[in-house]
Chain A
Amino acid sequence: MEGHPYGYNIPISEKTKEVPWEEKVRIYEEVKSDFRFKEFLFGCLNCGVCTASCPSNRFFDYSPREIVQRFLEEDVEVIYDMMHEYIWACSQCFTCWIRCPFVNNPGGLVIIMREVAVRNAFEATKDLLKPYGRVLLKVMTTGNQLSADMLQPDFFPDWGPKMLDNMENLRAKRMAIPFDVGKSVKTAWEVSLETAIEMYQIWRETGIFEMLEKLDPNLYNVIMDIVEENEERWEELMEEEEEE
């Protein structure tokens, strides 16, 4: 019988089957060792209120109840399999968390699983996050996830004709925004260089750049070029200021 006898109805992929058991256990232990794990998983009545109110469950083959149940069952094989595509359906709305009578946090478990999937550079994760590269480039280099110049009509034809109009003469329209530091086009607000430099240091110290290098080496190189250029600019400014 394909799938899982207790309800996980997606057949375990051939790729997962081929992975050595020890590797699956290693990944499982990496998830479990996160300090948040014990705060996100308690008992489970199998009542399904989480799944009944889950937005992703309505459109994807995804169930927060399954996430909780598989961890309680210590089902290493299924959890490993879920970490490739299944978990990426979650909307991170945490409706499951507020509704669970046992205060389980399936959305929280998913974010730990996603983090481990990225850290271990799973192929499926790399493919899935490919279209998201533009966002990663922006947030890692500027500290803003979104800026006006990212909302190009070519990327968002489904947002309708008003979007096309919005993007015409964008610079002047941004200039007409009536508050300070909010007029920028390439960032959401005018982030100071000094602030960006501090953020780069946080990424270095916390292993975020390493994560990116494993996930997408090309993107990592582009990001590091920008980071290093800004760092050099900052050093020059500091030197100039000292001389003055």
Chain B
Amino acid sequence: MGHGKSPYLRYADPEPFPILNKHSHYDHLFEEMHELEEKGEILVYRITEENKPVEVYTRTGRIKTIPAAKLWHHKSCGQCGNIPGYPASIFWFMNKFGYDYLNEPHQTSCTAWNYHGSGTSNPVALAAVWLRNMHQAWKTGYYPLIHCGTSFGSYKETREQLIFNKELRDAVKPILKKLGRLTEDGRIVIPQEVVHYSEWVHAMRHKIKELYEKEGKAKGIDVSNVRVAIHNACHTWKMMADDYPYDPEVYNGQRPAASTAVIKALGAQVVDYSTWYDCCGFGFRHILTEREFTRSFAIQRKLKVIAEEVKADLIVTHDTGCTTTFEKNQWIGKAHGMYHPIAVMSDVMFAALACGAHPFKVVQLYWNCSNYEPLLEKMGITNWKELKKEWEDAVKKISELEKEGKYDELLEFFKEYDLYEPYSKTSDGFKRKRSATADMPLFKS
């Protein structure tokens, strides 16, 4: 089980599946990280029992520890800005499981989407942004859970670069010092594991299944006939490929396990297709300013293939860019007789729907441009038109209350708003504010 002196590096014994990479350079960082910790250069932000850890395997057979509770939610700008039902579904599960968490405003995006798209940054800036965010999480005592796939990939890469390159540590340390983002004794805070939300969903799949059995089915929801094509996001499993879950239950450990495993646990039909390994066509800059490439690739290499080969009802993703690319680039296919309408959503959104979450108030399907209605029907959510009306009425009411300046009523309204709490569920209830100044938003609402 053990490997050297580092408590952060353990391997499964016996091997749970044929190991894809037995000579991982990446895994060596867990030994180096421990050495840097022993020398007093870094502080490893450890996952503790308080985080209710769950163990999964990576493709090297390494045991990766996934914290389940007391999490600091590092949100995704693409999700919050464009697919708000994505983070809402994550929070919904946290509430359902009764897990303590922190959703606060003291974080920036990783800024890696911009870097991959435009090159206007550098490794020192990326490292400083990451470590500032991680220090903030450490200060609150909540363990970081990364919502975005690109943030996750970029943070894994940045950690690897920091651990193996003293020059990068030396460059970033003075900046963090100026920001007050080192420990009191001058150390950099580096998390024990960089954890993506899809890994959390993977680790929680059995609990999610229980919830589906108990509450989803009670509402008449049945996903057993739903045909699901999985699209794994490039930045989760191709960037720092040795640090993402694999499992004997998913293609005997030869393909990434997250997303596929939860869909299987729910009893839906995972359907395989020939271009499963291809990217979505997002391209970072391309989705915004070279969209003819993005939509051509998405339609020809993914949507058409999935529609024709396996006739899927749904494409399940686990990242911001892929979800956006697939759901926004269907309608335009009509122009060339290449319209392949397929519902698109992330694993956690589909899981929330299966477990009975409101399709519009929680999963926020309203924002989705894909053809999700037939999927809802097939799942047994046949009253989706009424549920949509409920949401539209809620928007109207919110709009009226705000125009009239009735903020107290607005707050009360949100308190009654479905299963969700309007303010972050933290250890001190609704009192997330440190001070008026510290919590002052960049833009006044």
Interface stretch, picked from B8-16, B64-72, B197-205, B416-424, is B416-424
Q: Are B108 and A144 in contact (CB under 8 A)?
A: yes
Name B369's contact: one of A163, A205, A208 (CB within 8 Å).
A163
Interface stretch, picked from B30-38, B188-196, B231-239, is B231-239
Name B286's contact: one of A91, A97, A144, A158 (CB within 8 Å).
A91
In the complex with contacts A147-B81, A179-B420, A94-B239 CB distance below 8 A = yes
Q: Are B417 and A178 in contact (CB under 8 A)?
A: yes
Q: Are B81 and A117 in contact (CB under 8 A)?
A: no
A16 at the interface (CB under 8 A from B): no
A48 at the interface (CB under 8 A from B): no
In the complex with contacts A166-B367, A181-B105, A146-B422 CB distance below 8 A = no
Q: Which A-chain residue is minimally distant from B414 (CB atoms)?
A: A178
Q: Are A180 and B432 in contact (CB under 8 A)?
A: yes
B61 at the interface (CB under 8 A from A): no
A-B contact count (CB 8 A): 291
B140 at the interface (CB under 8 A from A): no
Q: Are B105 and A60 in contact (CB under 8 A)?
A: no
A35 at the interface (CB under 8 A from B): yes
Residue interface mask B317-328, A partner, CB < 8 A = 1? 000000000001
A198 at the interface (CB under 8 A from B): yes
Q: Which B-chain residue is minimally distant from A237 (CB atoms)?
A: B437
Q: Which A-chain residue is minimally distant from B286 (CB atoms)?
A: A91
Q: Which A-chain residue is minimally distant from B164 (CB atoms)?
A: A39
Interface stretch, picked from B49-57, B209-217, B289-297, B379-387, is B289-297
The A contact surface, by secondary structure, is helix
In the complex with contacts A60-B293, A166-B367, A184-B443, A189-B399 CB distance below 8 A = no
Residue numbers in A under 8 Å from B153 (CB-CB): 94
A-B contact pairs, 7 of them (CB 8 A): A55-B279, A95-B234, A135-B288, A144-B80, A174-B84, A177-B88, A191-B105
The 6 A-B residue pairs with the shortest CB-CB distance, nearest first, are: A143-B108, A160-B331, A114-B119, A172-B399, A93-B279, A188-B77
Q: Could you tell me which A residues sit within 8 Å of B by CB distance?
A: 35-36, 53, 55-56, 58-60, 88, 91-95, 97-98, 111, 114-115, 117-118, 125, 129, 131-132, 135-136, 139, 142-148, 150-151, 156, 158-163, 166, 169, 171-184, 186-196, 198-199, 201-203, 205-208, 211-212, 215, 230, 237-238, 240-241
